[in-house]
């Protein structure tokens, strides 16, 4: 996997971060380079359970190889599709989803998905979907009706992997998707994913919530800092191009943003092995994504919660260990920061945040980022073989840099 445990690049929360996982590239526009591939769909590095990243990508070539026409009798009567069926949910949600084409100023880019957030024309998607277009690039959004709009990136949060774009000359009849409550999602609940896998726009797949609070660290393979999430896991089929699309519940409410997959592809960066969904997909919970999107719309920059300490990113089952030294020679525990005020020191191993077991540094980061600055949390940590508990008020950091 690209990066290392201590790249010398502090993350936006003051916690030392690194790139976990490998690039999983998605279909690119005709002008794209890098072998015809660009903006990545993430491959998850599962921190818990011992599953790693370092997996490959494959080129999705959308060739039209012909068609078949089938004649069928229409004497069976009309089909009734109730609002609560998958077909009913899809019919209502599809008009509020878009296929996003993002292209950099030098022609690199790729395809992803987004959904209507408000009537002003804001579209929510993943940061890695639009990352190529942030500096002088081009973004377009195409609705299932075929209507295509130019758009601009309003704000993006690399750490959260959330971005907001806004349609230029947005239509007046936009219908935002209804946002659900991801905290109330239960394992086994039905899920519906909408996206453009391998460039196949307006694709609908179904599954269930397979797990909650799954710690996932992922990278787009460019060497940038990783994104971290305490994810919803689903077995709904998710592939390159689904990134940024909505994960819906059975009532059509958005409960997450499809963002990452675990894949068995073995080609590695530059390889050609066919890779895709194996039923392990991960979505950013909508409660977190909603907060991030609102901050981005407000002033264009994300705000991260932080404890003000540098932790090891090595895979572990023992907890998140505060390092002896932070990135670039900085102190591991920020002077005057939340961790310092709570009495935490280098060498302490954080094992719980409130009632959530912490088994590694990335798990801690993802869990902290489910909170807002100013939230009070309880940390359990070990020092010299003894267990301690302390209350801590989370600090804040603005921006990705």
Q: What is the pLDDT of residues 239-269, one digit of tens each?
A: 888 999 999 999 999 999 999 888 765 433 3
Q: Is the pLDDT of residue 15 over 90?
A: no
Same domain, 247 and 371: no
Where does residue 358 fall: left (phi above 0), alpha (psi -120 to 50 degrees), or beta otherwise? beta
pLDDT in tens, 154-189: 999 999 999 999 999 999 999 999 999 999 999 999
**Torsion of Cα atoms, 221 then 223 then 224 then 228, to 10°:** 50
Range of the domain at 307: 303-398
Q: Which residue has 């094992």 as its token pair? A: 351
Q: Provide the CATH number for the domain around residue 366.
A: 2.30.42.10
Lowest mean pLDDT among 76-80, 184-188, 191-195: 76-80
At 77, the pLDDT band (50, 70, 90 cuts) reads low
Q: Is residue 128 annotated as part of the catalytic site, yes or no?
A: yes
Given 210, 237, 243, 277, which residue is catalytic? 243
Out of 278, 301, 324, pick the residue that ends a domain. Answer: 301
Q: What is the pLDDT of residue 387?
A: 96
Lowest mean pLDDT among 127-141, 200-214, 324-338, 385-399: 324-338
Same domain, 231 and 314: no
Given 16, 122, 132, 161, which residue is catalytic? 161
The CA distance from 154 to 127, in Å, is: 11
Out of 301, 318, 351, pick the residue that ends a domain. Answer: 301
Q: Is residue 161 annotated as part of the catalytic site, yes or no?
A: yes
Q: Provide the CATH number for the domain around residue 288.
A: 2.40.10.120
Same domain, 30 and 111: yes
User: Is 214 within a domain?
Assistant: yes
Q: What are the tokens at 67?
A: 């068609």
Same domain, 7 and 89: yes
Q: Is the pLDDT of residue 18 over 50?
A: no
Mean pLDDT of the chain: 79
Same domain, 193 and 313: no
In this prediction the pTM is 0.78
At 78, the pLDDT band (50, 70, 90 cuts) reads low
Same domain, 33 and 133: yes
Domain count, the chain: 2
Q: What is the pLDDT of residue 136?
A: 83
Out of 260, 276, 301, pick the residue that ends a domain. Answer: 301
**DSSP tag of 367:** H
Same domain, 311 and 296: no
Phi and psi angles of residue 288, each rounded to the nearest 5 degrees, phi first: -70, -45
Residue 38: which of 199, 185, 253, 212 has the closest Cα? 199
User: Is 76 within a domain?
Assistant: no
User: Is 66 within a domain?
Assistant: no
Q: Is residue 156 annotated as part of the catalytic site, yes or no?
A: no
Same domain, 215 and 345: no
């Amino acid at each position: 996997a690209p990066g290392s445990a201590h790249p010398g690049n502090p993350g936006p929360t003051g916690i030392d971060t690194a790139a976990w996982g490998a690039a999983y590239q998605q279909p690119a526009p005709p002008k794209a380079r890098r072998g015809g591939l660009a903006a990545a769909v993430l491959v998850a590095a599962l921190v818990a359970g011992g599953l790693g990243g370092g997996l490959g990508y494959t080129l999705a070539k959308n060739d039209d190889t012909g068609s078949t026409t089938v004649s069928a009798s229409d004497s069976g009567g009309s089909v009734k599709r109730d609002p609560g069926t998958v077909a009913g949910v899809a019919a209502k949600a599809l008009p509020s989803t878009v296929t996003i084409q993002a292209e950099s100023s030098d022609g690199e880019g790729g395809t992803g998905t987004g959904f209507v957030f408000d009537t002003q024309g804001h579209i929510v998607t993943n940061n890695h979907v639009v990352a190529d277009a942030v500096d002088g690039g081009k973004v377009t959004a195409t609705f299932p009706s075929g209507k295509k709009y130019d758009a601009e990136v309003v704000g993006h949060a690399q750490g959260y992997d959330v971005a907001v774009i806004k349609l230029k000359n947005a239509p007046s009849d936009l219908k935002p998707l209804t946002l659900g409550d991801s905290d109330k999602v239960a394992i086994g609940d039905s899920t519906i994913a909408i996206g453009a896998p391998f460039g196949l726009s307006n694709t609908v797949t179904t599954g269930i919530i397979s797990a909650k609070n799954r710690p996932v660290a992922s990278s787009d393979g460019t060497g940038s800092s990783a994104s971290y999430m305490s994810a919803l896991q689903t077995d709904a089929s998710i592939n390159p191009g689904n990134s940024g699309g909505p994960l819906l519940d059975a009532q059509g409410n958005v409960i997450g943003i499809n963002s990452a997959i675990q894949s068995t592809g073995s080609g590695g960066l530059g390889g050609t092995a066919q890779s895709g969904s194996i039923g392990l997909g991960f979505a950013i919970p909508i409660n977190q994504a909603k907060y991030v999107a609102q901050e981005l719309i407000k002033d264009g920059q994300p705000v991260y919660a932080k404890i003000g300490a540098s932790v090891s990113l090595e895979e572990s089952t023992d907890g998140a260990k505060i390092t002896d030294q932070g990135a670039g020679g900085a102190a591991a525990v920020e002077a005057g920061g939340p961790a310092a005020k709570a009495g935490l020191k280098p060498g302490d191993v954080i094992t719980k945040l409130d009632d959530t077991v912490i088994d590694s540094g990335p798990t801690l980061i993802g869990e902290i980022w489910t909170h807002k600055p100013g939230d009070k949390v309880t940390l359990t940590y070990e020092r010299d073989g003894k267990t301690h508990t302390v209350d801590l008020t989370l600090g804040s950091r603005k921006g990705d840099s």
